[in-house]
Amino acid sequence: MRPYDHEVLILDGACGTNLQEMNIPASAWEGREGCNELLNLTAPETIIALHAAFVEAGAMVLETNTFGASRIVLAEYGLADRVEAINRAGVENARAAIGGRPDIYIAGSIGPGTKLPSLGHIAVDDLAAAYAEQIRALAAAGADLLIIETCQDLLQIKTAMTTCFETLESLGLDLPVMASVTIERTGTMLVGTDMAAAAVTFEPYPLFSFGMNCATGPLDMESHIRYLSRNWPGRISCVPNQGLPEVIDGKTCYSLGPETYAREMKRFVTEYGVSVVGGCCGTTPAHIRELVRTLAGVKPAVREVTA
């Protein structure tokens, strides 16, 4: 089967918050604490074990540990020359965790970076070059699809999308591309764009899916998912955090339990026709296991979309 053949596609959970709970030797960081992507090279067994836990939980798609593996982010750690190696290792680690199963797919994760063009942090040409480099590396390593996620800036979105499809065309590849924006509790993206404007921006691109991830839990996403249900013609994705983060005893915690999370996601599938689901910050294998159980046999609602 291909990703297109599934009525509901279930993604895994975010690498970052799960890695914080794992026993990682200090030497693996090489003095670059916070660069999770480096662990693809220095602690591959840790990354493989994390992916394998989500495979065991029933995830259909594994996101590579490459969210910050563009030249822009890696340069902040003195790793700008390791883009190709880190992205290749990210795909290889996910592939090792799958163990040859043909029914699980690898999504090359591409984050927004740390510099937004609308705020003058970076020139569009430099941003595009960084995206192209990472996309080529993920595609060459054998990613089954790409996910451009946590988009926060309309100009960043357009740069990423245009670069992605131009790069895939130059490589002669037709990989599914998923796209996901982050809407803050204010009701807009970080630079002030609302969901309607984001949807109009994405509509010309041949996306596998479009939706939301990060920033909030499911309840704060509902009005935006409802809008997409009525206005977005393609697949809708919803990949929330497990609620809002809280610091308890000096530790960042997410309060949404697996049962509540799975129940809310089922409602999004059956009421709004969401067909790509998963979890972002705070999502554990237990959350995905409960999501898989809750969605067994469930079909997305049929939507009537107004152009």
Helix/strand/coil (H, E, C) string of 215-232?
A: CCCHHHHHHHHHHHHHHC
- Bigger pLDDT: 90 vs 23: 90
β partners of residue 212: 181, 238
> Which of 166, 168, 152, 192 has the alpha carbon at shortest distance from 108?
168
Specify the length of the chain in residues: 307
pLDDT at 144: 98
The domains of the chain are located at 3-214
220 pLDDT higher than 90? yes
pLDDT at 306: 76
Contact status, residue 192 vs residue 148, Cβ threshold 8 Å: no
276 pLDDT higher than 90? yes
- pLDDT band with cut points at 50, 70 and 90 for residue 21: confident
CATH number of 3-214: 3.20.20.330
- The DSSP call for residue 106 is E
19 pLDDT higher than 70? yes
Helix (H, G, I), strand (E, B) or coil at 35: coil
φ/ψ (deg, to 5) at 19: -65, -30
pLDDT at 88: 98
* Prediction pTM value: 0.95
40 pLDDT higher than 70? yes
Q: Report, as an integer, the average pLDDT of 183-192.
A: 94
Token pair of 278 as six digits: 């998963």
Within 13 Å, how many C-alpha atoms sit on residue 249's CB side? 0
- pLDDT band with cut points at 50, 70 and 90 for residue 14: confident
pLDDT at 35: 96
Quick: pLDDT tens for 137-167: 999 999 999 999 999 999 999 999 999 999 9
Contact status, residue 275 vs residue 245, Cβ threshold 8 Å: no
Q: Report, as an integer, the average pLDDT of 256-284.
A: 97
1 pLDDT higher than 70? no
pLDDT at 177: 98
